[in-house]
Structure 1
Amino acid sequence: MRLPVPGPRDVMSLLERGGDQVEAVIGAVPRMLTLLDDAERLLVRASGAIERVREVTEAANVVVVRVGGVVDDAQVQVGRVTTLMDGLEPSLTRLQPTLETLADTTHPDEVKALVRLVDQLPVLTERVEQDVVPILGTLGSVAPDVHDLLTVARELNDMLAKLPGMGRIRRRIDEQEGEDDTDATVR
């Protein structure tokens, strides 16, 4: 078999076609460089975006952990409140009509007065303990003495009634007391 040997025309034709293709390849080089530059810029932007996604993911993980802690704390508090409400519900249900009546009939001035009274309770308690209670303790021994004084006063009244002229004085006193009672009633 005979191998074809290219002739000078074949070589020239090949060179002409190869030159066009070399020119096409050389013409494509700037486009390829532009594409490489664009690809590099895209890689830089993609790297930045990936880094931001990582940061957001880390921040989201921190938030999720914190939210988990808040939810756990809230569950504990809900359990406490539920227990408290379960215990108070019967009493509050029975007190509801009373509380509604109290809310409807209580004036703000009455509430202020009650607050002032509560503020004075320590002083009142101290005075009752120091002054009133000791007096109440002595009332048992004072009652017979007062009874004796009343008896003596009656006896003196009877003796004075037997003195001459005391009947007129007594009537005058009764009349004056009656007038004083009438004046007091008119006022």
Structure 2
Amino acid sequence: MRLPVPGPRDVISALERGGDQVEALLGAVPRTLALLDDAERLLVRASAAIDRVREVTEAANVVVVRAGAVVEDADTQVTRVTSLLDATEPSLLRLQPTLETLAETTHPDEVKALVQLVDHLPELTARVEGDVLPVLTTLGTVAPDMHDLLTVARELNDMLAKVPGLGRIKRRIDEEEGEDATEETVR
């Protein structure tokens, strides 16, 4: 579209046509200047709009780059989780019925008790290693000593039974022990 700005030919043509045309031509100059001012303002506004769009584009590019990094991280994590699930799936499938039973039958109080037991395991382990295991290792030598002690006690019992008058005392003690044992059984 051609702008209504008079060119040199238009000026010469207007001069040939007369004074009315010169006045019309001179009247068009302020309009032309106003149009140029409007065009300059539009250019400034368009330039500002382009700058804002450029800023938004740059910000969007930063977001896209960050999103790309997040997607790469997610891909890495998905690959790791996938390989982990692939490796543990057979075991988890075999354990599933056990886990379901455990979940259905375990009471929260039992879980608390188990946690307390686990908390005490270091102390229990130390005591078993320090106190119980040494005693257990000596039990092999205690059995023959106990056997000898029982033999001596039987021999002493037989000797006491031969002492005059102690036989009656022994029978009385045996009867009392029998009565005590009977009373304890009844209780």
| TM-score class normalised by the smaller sequence | 0.7 to 0.9
Of residues 145, 169, 174, the one that matches 2:178 is 174
Amino acid at match of 2:87: G
Q: What's the Cα RMSD here?
A: 2.3
Q: For the structure 1 residues 39 and 167, does the alpha-carbon distance in structure 2 shift closer, same or farther, using more than 3 Å as the test?
A: same
Structure 1 residue 39, shift from structure 2 partner: 1.3
Amino acid at match of 1:173: E
Gaps of 5+ in 2: 1-13
Amino acid at match of 1:61: N
Per-residue Cα deviation, 1:66-88 (whole angstroms, up to 9, x for no partner): 22222222222221111111110
Structure 1 residue 102, shift from structure 2 partner: 0.5
Determine what percentage of the aligned residue pairs are the same residue. 73
Structure 1 residue 94, shift from structure 2 partner: 0.2
Please report the TM-score for the alignment, with normalisation by the length of structure 1: 0.80
Could you tell me how far apart the structure 2 residues matched to 1:130 and 1:179 are?
Answer: 41
Q: Corresponding residue for 2:100? A: 100
- Matched residue SS, 2:167: coil
- Matched residue SS, 1:164: helix
Q: Which has the higher contact order (CA 8 A, sep 6+)?
A: 2
Amino acid at match of 1:50: I
Please report the TM-score for the alignment, with normalisation by the length of structure 2: 0.80
Amino acid at match of 2:43: L
Report the count of equivalent residues. 170
Could you tell me how far apart the structure 2 residues matched to 1:37 and 1:125 are?
Answer: 94
